[in-house]
Amino acid sequence: MKYGRTYNFSAGPAMMPEEVLEEIAAEMLNYRASGMCVMEMSHRSQVFQQIRDEAEADLRRLMGIPDNYKVLFIQGGGTLQFAMVPMNLMKNGTACYVETGAWSKKAIAEARKYGKVEVVASSADRNFSYIPDCSDLAIPADADYVYICENETINGTTYHTLPDTKGHVLVSDQSSMFLSRPCNVSDYGLIWGGVQKNVGPAGMAIVIIREDLIRHDLPDFVPTYLSYAVHADNDSLYNTPNCWAIYCCGKVFKYLLSHGGLEAAAARNQEKADVLYRFLDSSRFFTGSVRPEDRSVMNVPFVSPSKEQDAQVVSAAKAAGFDNLKGHKSVGGLRASIYNAMPKEGVEALVSFLRKYEAANG
Ligand SMILES: *Cc1c(COP(=O)(O)O)cnc(C)c1O
């Protein structure tokens, strides 16, 4: 790779397209004759306003976001949304959650602080290695929403069909799959994603929310900053936003638009995932951890025959130029995160490394 860069399989922050990083580097000291770097710019300036507006317009075009949805850029990363969702959407005080792994568990624990949580389906019985059947969930009539983590980053599962919410609002944490494939926004009431997995730098979440769900009658205990209405009414400029992340994400939106949009991104991602899964299915040393029909296209967890060998593979891989292959501490094993910006050559090179490792050690 150019610049001595490494194939970085980190679950996040993760790789960004090289072309985008080059453009950012070229604009670093003087953004388009403004005389300053975007990091030094007033968020109230015309030049930044244009960066923000273009980012939103490009995202709307990329995802085909209908006019009755707001796009919000909110600080606090993904974790803050675990609290903002129930604070803003629990009107009746009950919400349904599907428990599929580490990130949905965190969302459930946080939501319990604000109201009643019904866990309507779970895959805890088999260590979160599959997506439970969500075709006939027991959803109480007064449930404010049904919440899913659509791609479980740590466990490596993804929904290939959405739950039947029986007319209730669907809320989805898309952090680790955001912009990895086309998305029919009107299937959801609210979509959110932390951007550092598949889009840009850490520290910001993008929230796409249907306008009728934005409430102006929140209880007094909700901090001003944590009201979706405050962000929506101020075009995400209520206070100083994460200007740098908005700028970088905007670059990535343009990059995706000029490379065939989300259909093309999905095809590239599927090709990469197929290379890795085909190898895992043929290997007698490495085993994929997830039920084949629920496998994530973004995060691929797998194991070798023992914990000791897992650790040996991780360090041999690092020495060979493949970084961050250690599985999350809560599940162990290995994990290759192959987001939008991971080139296909990176996955092919990893597979050829693993194949050789197996031949020598298997
Ligand atoms: C990373 C991640 C989060 C948390 O994001 P932070 O920005 O670290 O708070 C939440 N949900 C999912 C699915 C994630 O992958």
Domains of the chain: 20-258 (3.40.640.10), 261-361 (3.90.1150.10)
* 34 CA to centre of ligand 1 in angstroms: 34
Q: In what order do the strands lie in the sheet with 334-337?
A: 287-288, 299-303, 334-337
Residue for token pair 């995400």: 236
In angstroms, how far is CA 209 from the centroid of its own chain?
A: 16
Q: Is the CB of 304 under 6 A from ligand 1?
A: no
pLDDT tens for the chain, 362 residues long, are: 899 999 999 999 999 999 999 999 999 999 999 999 999 999 999 999 999 999 999 999 999 999 999 999 999 999 999 999 999 999 999 999 999 999 999 999 999 999 999 999 999 999 999 999 999 999 999 999 999 999 999 999 999 999 999 999 999 999 999 999 999 999 999 999 999 999 999 999 999 999 999 999 999 989 999 999 999 999 999 999 999 999 999 999 999 999 999 999 999 999 999 999 999 999 999 999 999 999 999 999 999 999 999 999 999 999 999 999 999 988 899 999 999 999 999 999 999 999 999 999 98
Q: Cβ(82) to ligand 1 under 6 A?
A: no
List residues with catalytic annotation.
103, 173, 197
Distance CA 132, CA 128 (A): 9
Q: What is the pLDDT of residue 219?
A: 92
Instruction: Name the pTM for this structure.
Output: 0.98
pLDDT recorded at residue 353:
98
Quote the CA–CA distance of 166 and 54 in Å, as a whole number.
36
**Ligand 1 site, residue 299, Cβ cutoff 6 A:** no
**Tokens 């004759």 sit on residue:** 33
Mutate to test the pocket of ligand 1, among 176, 206, 296, 324 (most ligand atoms within 8 A of CB): 176
